[in-house]
Structure 1
């Protein structure tokens, strides 16, 4: 679905005492930003990333911790021992400090709430406060899930209380990918995850025909979305056993306009061909043991029919661990920005997806 402007809504929520400094002392910083931080996201070796929902997890001993960041485009949540202690709004180049904790061992999590296809964020690592220490990073979780899609997957405008969010901060301030259905589902499964959502893009056609000649498939392989030709170097540790694909809303939600290279019929045909190719790519990357779910939020129309036909065709040829999941539900209120899913909707969808996964014979 489409994107709209940005501005402000969520103020920092600090249940702990926090301060911000210009930078951390060099001797405090880890040699590598990921040396003592666990992440499952598409993050470069220098700590840069673009996709929404990227998170970093660490452990520390003492009464506080510093988080080194360089990002003037995105918003973040800081969580300590499972509790969100602050929201950082486009923090820029800074070391954000959490202080005033009881002296002991703690966990810290930094999560990117927002999309930034135009810019990269940069994580510089966790740093110790006086008298404390950053401990070895948490180990990866046994389960891994990848979510692929558009604005519905990214959690676009999910924190808004109304469909017009221009007066309450715009889309960016009203978005929290950490509360999207994908993130909620993965956390309920105690799984590491990626939320590879990109608003406005489709499998072959983008929302209302914008940016012709491009599609989601042009960006999927990247770590840094704004860098032409960038390729994410998939580590051998990233082996998701569930991949949920939700692409097609933008292809079909607006009518084909004069001058576009499709008729309604040829758009369906090209969409199905492209979907087959994209699923071939996922199978090559992740192998036959991975369960792939083609997901659709619409009850009727060209989108669900085309997506379900792709699955039926492949299953008829013998492909296993491929499923079609239609989660259209009249209970969804779509009260997020611009008729997107609300936070309530994302919770409902996560529950439905959890139930659906429980009925599959998954090989975790």
Structure 2
């Protein structure tokens, strides 16, 4: 079996039939901007799933910033590192029907990525897209949610190592969703907080500045939900960056920061409730220094009559934090996913 032929013959290229719209041949729940023949996206962990018949397939991408895994029949057959504008060919498969999944591994908030769909090899065909899963979970958070440097095997990483060793597809959110057979979004942005970012950087923007966007580097962009994204559960894990040590010149005191954080968190949960309705369960994660503040916010929402907000403590016992810059490792993400999946299964979501 051979993989990765990027230079199919001109005859092969002429024999392909392009779909009228990429969404006709792929299943995706990520925040994408639908341009018809292409889909643009920015968030990490966005995935595209399809079906095809034949001995190979072309994957059409235009992205010079992010890395991707290509999985056929559940097995990773190629990792594309900043592939650029290309059709990447997977060849040498057994002749028959196959599934394919393309997933963005890392975060590139300053860049726009483009997916152009799948192309069949001669004699093959791109088949109708897979059915969506019945369950949907949205994960909102920072670097812990992204899977920051989780496959590095070391805490000491330079910027290039960080890019190559961040794999959102094995983050705890992605693993949790797979355990529960759910479609998912990983709407994570490293370094950002609810009201304050790590070390006080970029004080004029926080996570909430970007949450509504499909394309993170486009000011004012708003993701257009096609009406198919209706998560039964939304998991929010924001606050680790808010409570990093204050730096000289910042306008916060510990008390004013804590009060602003609780107020903003409450507002954000209200926004999520308005967006998704009473049928969506909201899970607020307590982690590290934000733990008690999150608990208070959840109790306040419950006291106000919203019983669909739940608190979950991210237990750090047994975690090695061997990811880049002492972040969770892939092993840690597996442990967290197991714990979180059990908790989510216990909630009254009618699953």
TM band (smaller chain): over 0.9
User: What does residue 113 of structure 1 align with?
Assistant: 105
- In the TM superposition, residue 26 of structure 1 has moved relative to its aligned partner by 8.3
User: What does residue 122 of structure 2 align with?
Assistant: 130
- In the TM superposition, residue 359 of structure 1 has moved relative to its aligned partner by 1.7
| 2:8 counterpart of 1:33 | no
- In the TM superposition, residue 330 of structure 1 has moved relative to its aligned partner by 2.4
Aligned positions of 1:11-30 closer than 5 A: 16-21=2-7, 25=14, 27-30=16-19
The runs of 5 or more residues in structure 1 that have no matched partner are 1-14
Distance 1:313 1:363 in 2: 25
- In the TM superposition, residue 255 of structure 1 has moved relative to its aligned partner by 1.8
User: What does residue 217 of structure 2 align with?
Assistant: 226
Q: 1:93 aligns with which of 74, 78, 85?
A: 85
| 2:260 counterpart of 1:270 | yes
Q: 1:349 aligns with which of 319, 336, 346?
A: 336
- In the TM superposition, residue 25 of structure 1 has moved relative to its aligned partner by 4.4
Distance 1:88 1:25 in 2: 24
* Backbone CA RMSD of aligned residues: 1.5
SS at match of 1:251: coil
| 2:274 counterpart of 1:284 | yes
TM-score (norm 2): 0.95
The answer to whether the 8 Å contact 1:79/1:86 transfers is yes
Aligned positions of 1:133-144 closer than 5 A: 133-144=125-136
The answer to whether the 8 Å contact 2:29/2:184 transfers is yes
| 2:146 counterpart of 1:157 | no
The answer to whether the 8 Å contact 1:20/1:96 transfers is yes
The answer to whether the 8 Å contact 1:67/1:127 transfers is yes
SS at match of 2:6: strand
Q: 2:285 aligns with which of 291, 295, 299?
A: 295
Please list the CA deviations of residues 62-105 of structure 1 after superposition, one character each: whole Å capped at 9, or x if unmatched. 11111000000000000000111110000000001111111111
The answer to whether the 8 Å contact 2:154/2:323 transfers is yes
| 2:193 counterpart of 1:206 | no
The answer to whether the 8 Å contact 1:289/1:363 transfers is no
Distance 2:223 2:14 in 1: 31
- In the TM superposition, residue 37 of structure 1 has moved relative to its aligned partner by 0.6
Count of residue correspondences: 345
| 2:45 counterpart of 1:53 | yes
User: What does residue 59 of structure 2 align with?
Assistant: 67
| 2:320 counterpart of 1:329 | no
The answer to whether the 8 Å contact 1:16/1:85 transfers is no
Aligned positions of 1:173-184 closer than 5 A: 173-184=164-175
Farther off after superposition, 177-186 or 326-335:
326-335
Distance 1:108 1:272 in 2: 43
Distance 2:246 2:183 in 1: 38
Distance 1:35 1:174 in 2: 32
| 2:351 counterpart of 1:359 | no
- In the TM superposition, residue 296 of structure 1 has moved relative to its aligned partner by 2.3
Structure 1 pair 134–262 and aligned structure 2 pair: CA distance change class (3 A): same
